[in-house]
Structure 1
Amino acid sequence: MNVQRTPNTLPPVAGNQSIVVRRAADRGHADHGWLDTWHTFSFSSYQDPDHVQFRSLRVMNEDFVAPGRGFGTHPHRDMEIVTYVLEGALEHRDSMGNGEILRPGEFQRMSAGTGITHSEFNPSKTEPVHLYQIWLLPERKGITPSYEQKRFAEEERHNRLRLVASRDAADGSLLIHQDARIFLGTLDAGIPVTHTLDAGRHAWIQVLRGSVALNGIGLETSDGAAVSDLRDLTITASTNAEVMVFDLP
C-alpha cells in the first residue's frame, strides 16, 4: 500500500475553520457479499487523494463480516493496528502464536513492526460481526512485533472518555508505538464530555453509535471529524451514543 504522510486537506465546516466533518455516506464503500466495508481513508481499491490519512491516523475501516467468513492469513509490517468489536465476535490468529476471540467492549492492539501474518474470522454460524479496524503509522520502523487484548469495563467509560491506548500504556491502556492517545466513551443522551488538546495537537472523533454534537456541530452514526487549531472539545450526546476520540500530534 502506498502510504502518504500528508494531513487531510478537506475544506472545513462552513463557519468553523477548525473542524472538518467526514460524513458516513461519503466514505469509500465495497460490498463483497461476505464483507460490507466502509473506508474513511484510502484503502485497497478505494483511493482518494483528498482522504489519504489524518496525521498519523492512516486507516479507519468499519466492517460487517458475515457468519463463518473472514480474512485469510495475510501479512502486515510497520503499522500499529487497533481493532474494536461493536457486535458479534472476531477470532484472531497470528504468526506470534496468539489465538484469541475478540468480543464487544474489547480492544486488540497489534504492532506489526518487522512483519507478522494473521487471520481474522467470524466464528459464529448465525451472527455477523461489526467492527472497526484502525491503523496508525508507527513512530519508527522496525519495531519488534507484539500483541495485546484488553476489555475496558462499561462503568469506566460511561459518560466519560476512558483512555484505551497510549504511547506509555498510561492508566492501564494498551501500548501503541506512536505519540497518540485513544479514548472511548459511552454517553447518555444529553450528557456532555470534554477533552482539552495540548498546543499543537489535533483530534479525530469517530461516532460509533448514536448521534452527538461536537462543539455544536451535529455528527451521526459512523460520521467522523478532524479537529485542528482548537484546544477545547465538547461532545454532547444527542441520543445515547458511543464515541472514539484520537488525540494526535
Structure 2
Amino acid sequence: MSTIASDLRVKVRPSEARGHVDAGWLKSAHSFSFANYFDRNNMNFHNLRVINDDWVAAGGGFPMHPHENFEIFSYMLEGALAHEDTMGNGSTVRKGGIQFMSTGSGVQHSEFNPSSTDETHLLQIWLIPDRKNTTPRYEMLELDDIARDGNLQLFLSHDGRDGSIRTEAAADVYSGKLNSNDTIRFELADERVVYVHVARGEVQINGETLKDGDAIEAEGNGTLELTNGENAEVVLFHLSPRR
C-alpha cells in the first residue's frame, strides 16, 4: 500500500485485475473470488465479500436459488431487474434503485431481466453480517439524484438512520455522483476502513485517477478526497475491520 495522506494507506484495485465471466446471457466482472473465479488472496475486503459487475441480456436471469447469512443488494445502473422470493415478495427495480435482502436463516429467490430488448446493468453486492440466522427481510429504495449530486447519499447502514435500509452488517454504504467542479471529502477514523468502487465514469481519489470498474481500499486515519469527476458514480463502503 502507498501512503497518500497522513496515516492513510490506500491501495488501488484496477478493473482489469477482476475475474471475468461470459455465459452468453450474463457477462460479469468479479472484484472478489466468486463462482469459477478463485484467488485465495482475494476473497474479501473485511466484511465486503462480493462485488459483481453484471450485464444481463434481455430475458436472461437466475432461477430460484437459496442464500443464507449474507446481506445482498442489487445496485441498478441501467435497465430493470424482476425479483421473486419465498418470503412472498415480487417486485421490479430499475435504474437508480436498490433491491436488498437480509438472507439470515435462509431464503430462496429468482431474478431476471424482464425486457425483451434491453440489457440490464447492475452491481450485485454481498456483505457479511455480524449476526447469523436472523429473520430474512426484503426492502427496496430509490436513490435521490439531487441528494447525491456532488455528495454522498447514505442508503444502507447498520442502524437504518436517515432513511437508509438497515443491514445486519457493520457497514454504512453511500452512493455519490461527481462532475468537474465537485469535491467530496470523507474522513476515516476509529479504526474503520473504506472501499470505494467506481461504478462508472472517471474520478480522482487523493490524486489517483480511477475509471469505471476501478476501486480503492483505504485504512488508517485521514481524509479521502474525491475530485475531478467526469460523469462519475461511486459506491463507498465504510466498514468495521474483521479481526
TM range (shorter): over 0.9
The secondary structure found in structure 1 opposite 2:64 is strand
1:237 and 1:96 map into 2 onto residues whose CA distance is: 44
The secondary structure found in structure 2 opposite 1:210 is strand
The secondary structure found in structure 2 opposite 1:25 is helix
* Matched residue, 1:223: 214
Aligned length: 238
Does 1:239 find its partner at 2:225?
no
How far does residue 237 in structure 1 lie from its aligned partner after superposition? 3.2
2:122 and 2:81 map into 1 onto residues whose CA distance is: 8
For residue 238 of structure 2, what is the amino acid of its counterpart?
D
- What percent identity do the matched residue pairs reach? 42
CA contact (8 A) 1:57 1:137 kept: yes
The secondary structure found in structure 2 opposite 1:53 is coil
1:230 and 1:211 map into 2 onto residues whose CA distance is: 25
CA contact (8 A) 2:188 2:222 kept: yes
Question: Which residue of 58, 76, 98 corresponds with 2:67?
Answer: 76
2:153 and 2:51 map into 1 onto residues whose CA distance is: 20
For residue 33 of structure 2, what is the amino acid of its counterpart?
S
Gaps of 5+ in 1: 1-11
Question: Which residue of 188, 193, 196 corresponds with 1:197?
Answer: 188
Question: Which residue of 105, 123, 128 corresponds with 2:119?
Answer: 128
Which deviations, in whole Å up to 9, do the C-alpha atoms of 1:26-47 show, x marking residues without a partner? 1000100100011000001111
* Matched residue, 2:22: 31
Q: 1:166 to 1:41 in 2, by over 3 A?
A: same
1:148 and 1:15 map into 2 onto residues whose CA distance is: 38
How far does residue 198 in structure 1 lie from its aligned partner after superposition? 2.6
Normalization by structure 2: what TM-score?
0.95
1:36 and 1:168 map into 2 onto residues whose CA distance is: 34
Runs of 4+ residues over 6 Å off in structure 1: 14-17
* Matched residue, 2:46: 55
How far does residue 14 in structure 1 lie from its aligned partner after superposition? 8.2
How far does residue 248 in structure 1 lie from its aligned partner after superposition? 0.4
Task: Flag the structure with more relative contact order, 1 or 2, with Cα contacts below 8 A and sequence separation at least 6.
Answer: 2
How far does residue 15 in structure 1 lie from its aligned partner after superposition? 6.9
1:1-249 aligned within 5 A? 12-13=1-2, 18-249=9-240
How far does residue 190 in structure 1 lie from its aligned partner after superposition? 3.3
1:175 and 1:140 map into 2 onto residues whose CA distance is: 13
Backbone CA RMSD of aligned residues: 1.3
Which deviations, in whole Å up to 9, do the C-alpha atoms of 1:14-71 show, x marking residues without a partner? 8787111111111000100100011000001111012100010000100000000101
CA contact (8 A) 1:13 1:21 kept: no
For residue 233 of structure 2, what is the amino acid of its counterpart?
E
Q: 1:183 to 1:15 in 2, by over 3 A?
A: closer
- Structure number with the higher strand fraction is 2
Normalization by structure 1: what TM-score?
0.93
